[in-house]
Amino acid sequence: MKLSVWYSGFLLFVPLVFLASCSSPAQRIDDIAARGGLERRVIIGNGFRHIVYLKVAKPTSPRLHVYIEGDGSPWLLGQYIATDPTATLPLALELAKLDAENVLYLGRPCYMGLFEDGICAEKYWTSARYSAEVVASMSTAVSSLLKELKVSKVTLIGYSGGGTLAMLMSADSSLAVAPYLDSVVTVAGNLDVTAWIQQHNYLPLTESLDPSLADYPDTIDFMHYIGADDKNVSAEQALSFVTKHGGRYKILDSVDHSCCWLQHWPELLERDVNPMGSKAE
């Protein structure tokens, strides 16, 4: 794909790859994960491959914290479908690095350099980014590691669109991860996809599921963190979701969609996230 650019009276055709930095988003994630002591693996889900990063910090702990990244950059300049949607600023990975529990950073289908896999199509980071196929494959990818790790309890932690996927994974009791899942945390999570699309006048995600339309088991403990200054996913949308579906929530002052979560995360982990899951015990 090429982008037409006017400059000094001439029409230039600039390959989109040259608009990015020299290192790809996937390579940057590799570097960040390595500095955080996370081991890279490639896991097979339901037809999709998933790149994951694992840190076993507590070998005797029965719990695994699974971090899911946001939507990254599915579109360029709001007009062109990206070749690689991988997040250039992987906030969920940075949160995972601060976590002292056993941690799995779970890559989404076709993300982190896997966009050339034969099964991958642009719809899996645009209209079908929250589809049943994506949700099922991510669940299978997680469950494939649990016996090896001797883990019996899973907490899903999703940032932005990763929060959407975490909620959808928790709503379907037929998924492979369901028997292990006892708690879900969303950070600036997109919990009402329809309202979010209407707010921003985006194209409808016609092949995606919407967490606001799902039902959730009462055996799972839910916590939703909301930025008071978030203009991407509004506090009103999140509070409307909680009113309908329950769960706990906290609104953080002077926090927006991306700013300042890292500063708050160690305290949120200690006070809220680490004690979660008691309903299932």
- Read off the pTM: 0.91
**Are 141 and 52 spatial neighbours (Cβ–Cβ below 8 Å)?**
yes
**Are 212 and 241 spatial neighbours (Cβ–Cβ below 8 Å)?**
yes
DSSP letter (8 states) at residue 123: G
Tell me the average pLDDT across 136-148: 95
Above 60 in pLDDT, residue 17?
no
Q: Which CATH architecture has domain 23-280?
A: 3-Layer(aba) Sandwich (3.40)
pLDDT tens readout for residues 189-234 = 999 999 999 999 999 999 999 999 999 999 999 999 999 999 999 9
> Would you state the pLDDT for residue 147?
87
Buried residues in 126-147 as b, exposed as e (16+ CB within 10 A): bbbbbbebbbbbbbbbbbbbbe
**Are 165 and 110 spatial neighbours (Cβ–Cβ below 8 Å)?**
no
pLDDT tens readout for residues 250-271 = 999 999 999 999 999 999 999 9
Q: Confidence class of residue 279 from pLDDT cuts 50, 70 and 90? A: low
Please state the domain extents for the chain: 23-280
- Best CA proximity match to 53, nearest among 114, 101, 96: 96
